[in-house]
Structure formats: C-alpha cells, structure tokens
Amino acid sequence: MTSLETEQEARLGIGDVAERTGLSVHALRFYEREGLMLSPGKHLLQAEQSFEYARPIVAGDKLTVRSKVAGIESRPTPSGPTDVVIIEDEGRDDAGELVYRSRQLWVVRMAPKHAQGEIHE
C-alpha cells in the first residue's frame, strides 16, 4: 500500500466505513456513542445474531429502530482481555407496532500477534 492509499484510508467518512463493513451509519454512530468503537490492535467478531418477527417487513415500510447495549462482560483469555457485548434492537412501524426484535452478540478481542515478516490476513 502506498502512502497516498494509506492517507486516503485515514480520511474515510462514516458512509464509507458503513459501506465497507456492511454496518449502517446508524449502528456505527450508536457504537460510537456507547464507547464500543475499536481502537487499533483490536478485532470485532459477530458471534451470533437472532431475529424475532411480529410480522413480515415489506417494501415501503418505515421503521424506527431503537438499539441498546443489554450487557458487557470482560473475560480474561490467553491472548488478553476479551469483551462480550450484547446488543438488542427493536423495530416499530409508523403506528408504533412492533415489527421485529433482534439480539446480537459481539466479541471484541486483541488482534493476534504475528512474527515480523509473517504473512497473515
């Protein structure tokens, strides 16, 4: 990677990050407000996600989504501290009726250390 490419990467906007990660801008801003954004040297893994639907979501639906951090637990591991974060979402339609609930389990851990010159992803 050239220094120009590195400089361009450092100037990504929130929309660019959302597009590259598959997360919504709303979710990224929520994680930022809750102090869940990653610092260098950490990895974020989505361990599981479940959905419960009260009715089908159809084209044209306007949903209001509320997210909350339902729990955070820190666990010691051989590679360093690992945080487990549970996030719950609830989507409601314009009438205020529940459309869906979701629950996500995220794991935040230190990136594995590699020997200098070792090729890794």
Q: How many Cβ atoms are within 10 Å of 90's Cβ, its own excluded?
A: 16
pLDDT digits (tens, 9 = 90+) for 54-74: 999 999 999 999 999 899 888
CA distance 96 to 98: 6
Side chain identity at residue 109, one-letter code: R
For each of the domains in the chain, give its residue range(s) and CATH number, in order of start: 1-33 (no CATH), 41-110 (3.10.129.10)
Residue 51 has pLDDT above 80, yes or no: yes
pLDDT at 107 over 60: yes
Average pLDDT over residues 106-121: 60
Question: Structure pTM?
Answer: 0.59
Q: Which residues contact 81 (CB under 8 A, 6 or more apart)?
A: 74, 75, 109, 110
